[in-house]
Structure 1
């Protein structure tokens, strides 16, 4: 049986423990909070930041979420991951990407011998080839070609075909996004003559450095229902959405990054230029229609003011290069075969593009 002297200290100890327990628990929680904040701050300081200032929203994953469908800003795209510029192998002011077929080595050599030489060290020029379905002999030849010239991009998991050109452009932009720190990209064809030196000059002088989509636009092209351009999946409207012809168009880096990082959400249609117009249609984009881009599927001729001249082959390519080097002009003889137009952005697309003489 306990005495009163033994009971008193026990009661005091119990009361003291009850008073100190909440204080000790609070101190423990405070220490844990401080430690957690320190870890999060350290992680944030080491987190790579994207080149576009694209932000991530807590609790939302993936890069498919867009704020405004009527005219979204590229800076409002939420992306899952970003690539630091320091991790990229190449750097250029302008990147020129040319999808080409494996067998068209003569076209590639013609470009190497002509307008490729107009570029300076601020320009990267690359041919892009799908490699998946090629046999060993064709693969070996392309590898040897690249050893000699160093200007081929191999898409090892892609098979080249006309119907797959839009998907090829998506994969090409993904390669660009992952490997090059750049400001502008020109997508063009292997039968196009490019005044690279003039494009560089104008891009450097332009006030618009972001959201730029520069080319020769159409807004009332009918949807093809037969032939090689047959489009079975187009149901958006009676005509194609406004797009820049694929003989050559320029995008600023932010738009190219948007395409690359959202590729898994973008529908590839039969024509890559039509597809690009559809992909960029909901964005807040600065579209510049320029008649100096002779980039349609049928050439309008040759004028000295052209920056892009589509449907030029071998001897014509060499003749134009010789003219540029010797005189600074493009054409051995200026000629207009078809009428051109100035795009009217103030009317519906069906009324956009009225051709007339007097425009290059």
Structure 2
């Protein structure tokens, strides 16, 4: 056998292969030990039931596939970009949920942003228009909305600060405040409502027989075009307001895409002058409401007053109507509800049809707060759904809210209204006739 003669520096070269083999052997042994002792974590199933959460339907909750708060802007339309900034700034996870404010706003910069003479410091602004490549081809109502969508504060032309204070001594608080969206020239609609389903005062339930305090207020903007074919109705409106004391009017153009302003400004007014109302009805002046039946229904959902125990959080967040889900914006440029894709992308949140909706007074105060963080949107009922979405509240659907009317063959039959709470549309004459028919005992149906 040949003998390896290593001396000095050559000795390291002779021993190097043995050192490398020993390190490899140690690595293999450690790997085998770790593999034998490792127990893999159990994989979550595709669906699971979250601990402590019950499901009435028995369905398993879907396993979240992404983070609950998405910091990445998915859509690039103007409204989406503006709202993305708002959502990041007011992220309730990072900043704490401050939308539970139950009282009027105390932010001096939020309310009453007017000049010294009482006028509104708001004029068309082309900043956002420059962000829309197709702005010049949009319909006029969309262009007008974009130019003024930064404006939220308008002065009151007609106010009723004492409306909720004028209550009958028999009742402690206002059960139902009916806020009706109207226009200056709709004198007949308002008078028909006053004489039928919108009477202010003590109103009797239809089935229960108890009387509740109800107040009605009409929400108006400014009537433009007071020359030519449009008569000047300012004097007539003042006479009506002086007589009935149920008109609220703000100094903005009363257009379809400005109906959202009536929500915002009404919530501000409510928080200051009528914060203790149990419920609020918001609807159009061409709907018919079975007020007595609505009071029956609301009495079942009335949360205890502040002095009572067991105040229900669910009843505070109560909102009911004809709920529409998975609706997409109309892309037909010649339709009333047209929303360009450059302005908004995505599906609408669940919302209640704007013909008529009822929500708790406590929720109205929360909407007043959270609406500061939701960019204006030109369709009022969709905007309400956007505010609810950011409060984490789902609207409740009720089949008695017929915002798309009864089948034509049923409209003249009183029996068809037995389960109806609201129906749309009805003319002033139809309101008076239907009210008279429904006040009489219904025949066998």
The answer, yes or no, to whether TM exceeds 0.5 is yes
RMSD: 3.2
Name which of 337, 344, 347 aligns with 1:235: 344
In the TM superposition, 1:1-360 aligns within 5 A as 65=90, 67-68=92-93, 74-75=99-100, 81=106, 89=162, 90-91=164-165, 92-117=174-199, 120=202, 122-131=213-222, 133=224, 137-155=232-250, 157-180=251-274, 181-206=276-301, 208-225=314-331, 226=333, 227-232=335-340, 235-237=344-346, 239-296=347-404, 300=407, 302=411, 303-304=416-417, 305-327=419-441
Q: In the TM superposition, what whole-angstrom CA distance separates every residue of 1:249-276 from its partner, at most 9, and x where no partner exists? A: 1111222112223443322222211111
Q: In the TM superposition, what whole-angstrom CA distance separates every residue of 1:332-351 from its partner, at most 9, and x where no partner exists? A: x99xxxxxxxxxxxxxxxxx
Q: Following the alignment from structure 1 to structure 2, what is the Cα–Cα distance between the partners of residues 154 and 192?
A: 20
The 3 A distance-change label for structure 1 pair 66 and 184 is farther
TM-score (normalizing by structure 2)? 0.52
The 3 A distance-change label for structure 1 pair 82 and 243 is same
| Structure 2 gap segments, 5+ residues each | 1-88, 109-160, 166-173, 203-211, 304-313
Contact 1:74 1:283 (C-alpha < 8 Å) held by counterparts: yes
Contact 1:72 1:284 (C-alpha < 8 Å) held by counterparts: no
Larger Rg: 2
Q: Following the alignment from structure 1 to structure 2, what is the Cα–Cα distance between the partners of residues 244 and 309?
A: 14
Equivalent position SS for 2:359: strand
Contact 1:73 1:284 (C-alpha < 8 Å) held by counterparts: no
Q: Following the alignment from structure 2 to structure 1, what is the Cα–Cα distance between the partners of residues 391 and 368?
A: 15
Contact 2:280 2:358 (C-alpha < 8 Å) held by counterparts: yes
Equivalent position SS for 2:92: coil
Contact 2:104 2:365 (C-alpha < 8 Å) held by counterparts: no
Deviation at 1:168, TM superposition (A): 2.2
The 3 A distance-change label for structure 1 pair 164 and 255 is same
The 3 A distance-change label for structure 1 pair 68 and 197 is farther
Q: Following the alignment from structure 2 to structure 1, what is the Cα–Cα distance between the partners of residues 422 and 264?
A: 22
Deviation at 1:215, TM superposition (A): 0.7
Equivalent position SS for 1:281: helix
Q: Following the alignment from structure 1 to structure 2, what is the Cα–Cα distance between the partners of residues 134 and 174?
A: 28
Q: Which moved more, 1:115-124 or 1:102-111?
A: 115-124
Deviation at 1:104, TM superposition (A): 0.8
Equivalent position SS for 1:116: coil
The 3 A distance-change label for structure 1 pair 311 and 73 is farther
Residue number in structure 1 paired with 2:21:
none
Q: In the TM superposition, what whole-angstrom CA distance separates every residue of 1:27-47 from its partner, at most 9, and x where no partner exists? A: xxxxxxxxxxxxxxxxxxxxx
Q: In the TM superposition, what whole-angstrom CA distance separates every residue of 1:307-360 from its partner, at most 9, and x where no partner exists? A: 01111112321221012211268xxx99xxxxxxxxxxxxxxxxxxxxxxxxxx
| Structure 1 gap segments, 5+ residues each | 1-63, 335-360
Equivalent position SS for 1:221: coil
The 3 A distance-change label for structure 1 pair 299 and 247 is farther
Deviation at 1:93, TM superposition (A): 1.6
The 3 A distance-change label for structure 1 pair 66 and 204 is farther
Residue number in structure 2 paired with 1:343:
none
Contact 2:351 2:381 (C-alpha < 8 Å) held by counterparts: yes
The 3 A distance-change label for structure 1 pair 79 and 100 is closer
